[in-house]
Amino acid sequence: MRDIRPVSSERSDWGLFSPEELFELMRVECTRASRYGYDLSCLCVSIDRLGHLQDLYGSTSRAELLDALHELLKSSTRDSDFPRCMVDDALVALFPHTGTAGALTLCRRVLKGARRLGFESDGRPIQVTFSIGVATNRDAGVRDLESLLQQAQAGMALARAAGGDRFMRQEQASNEFDQIRRELEDLRSALDRQGDVVREAASVRRVLDLADLPGGGQALLERPEDREFAARMAALFGTGAGSGPEAEKLRQQAIEFALRGIHEERRRSIERQMRENEGEVDTLRRRVAKLNSSLAATEEELRRVMALKDVDPGVASIYRTVQGLSADAANAKARLDMLNRIFQANVELRQNLQPGSVPAEIRAKKDPDHE
């Protein structure tokens, strides 16, 4: 276990305490909460991509960012006199008389408040986001200040690992694993549903094949709804046409003909559906395969994240600024042209180099007569 001790009180506008004294204050608060049995929560907050922001905008930015974070925390609570200190690059704060629900509300406020922080550099806005770990003195495994901090830090590590701009409780780690398992179930049942379509198609095709054999007309009557249809037809014939072997044969042929039509139609519709779903099935299969092969690895990964303190900083907010080709974009057409060219260049690259590895459908396109 790494030693948890405050390393600085550089932003200590909350008094003239040394880091050690601050930590002692927190310990007192913690002991008092357990003695008198009231709720106490701990938030561990770090600034996402702090190192990166610092590289870009200089070391003053760190102090400014921490100041802003601090102000944000204060303005998000009723009592702004909560004990806090810096541990590494994270702000750790205790909130007496605050249970899980209250702590989570606080987290939401802080994340939302971050959106409104108006940092800029060179006139460009910079979006600052936080990763927050939450723990309370009611959590399983929390006995004292150290274990409380540790759980909050583990939560923060998870929040960062998940991309930042979020809060997490350590408990969520195991939930996450469960969620993966649930997703696997969902994927499997989605795949099953696709399988139903395939099975249906196979059965219809088989019926048609059988019907083509001499005396195979019986196969057309496999389904109850088809039998009912045939019976209705027979009844209809019965009212008008005469009797005798000729009429009987005619009736049989007409019914078979109609049934065959129904089956053909059914086959076409199912095959259309299958074609549409083919890509989907393929994607699903691949995802299931992938998920399957790494369920154990997930467990491993979670263990790793929990053990690691300095996991990679999250950067969730950034992607939002570079996302998505919208059809409305002014130059959407020009861009699509570009993308097409990149794609074609890649197709050619593969054609030139490894003829064997190019899917046939792509290679075929080179030959204009092919289609």
Binding-site size, another protein (CB under 8 A): 60
Q: Could you say whether residue 60 binds another protein (CB under 8 A)?
A: no
- Which residues in the 114-143 window bind another protein by CB under 8 A? 124
Q: Binding to another protein by residue 360, rule CB under 8 A?
A: no
Backbone φ and ψ for 356, nearest 5 degrees, come out as -65, -25
DSSP-derived secondary structure for 210-238: HHHSTTGGGGGG-SHHHHHHHHHHHHHHH
Tokens for 9, please give them: 């009180």
Binding mask 26-55 for another protein (x = CB under 8 A): -----------------------x--x--x
Cβ density class 269-284: b for 16+ within 10 Å, e for less: ebeeeeeeeeeebeeb
Q: Would you count residue 161 as binding another protein (CB under 8 A)?
A: yes
Measured over the CA atoms of residue 12, residue 16, residue 19 and residue 25, the dihedral's sign is negative
Measured from the CB atom, the residue of 170 and 317 that comes closer to another protein is 317
CA distances from 355 to 41, 181, 305, 347, 370 (A): 62, 40, 43, 10, 17
Pairing of strands 90-96, 40-47: antiparallel
Which among 17-25, 156-164, 211-219, 240-248 is the span making contact with another protein, rule CB under 8 A? 156-164
Which one, 49 or 263, has the nearer CB to another protein?
A: 49
Q: Smallest Cα–Cα separation from 217: which of 256, 266, 255? A: 256
Cβ at position 112, least distance to another protein in Å: 17
- If you ran DSSP here, which 8-state letter would residue 43 be given? E
Query: Whose CA is closest to 92, among 162, 9, 161?
Result: 9
- Write out the binding residues for another protein, residues 289-348 only, by CB under 8 A: 290-291, 294-295, 297-298, 312, 314-319, 322-328, 331, 334-339, 341-343, 345-347
Cβ distance to another protein smaller for residue 225 or 367: 367
Judged by the rule CB under 8 A, the positions of this chain that interact with another protein are 49, 52, 55-56, 124, 161-165, 180, 183-184, 187, 279, 283, 286-288, 290-291, 294-295, 297-298, 312, 314-319, 322-328, 331, 334-339, 341-343, 345-347, 349-350, 352-354, 359, 361-362
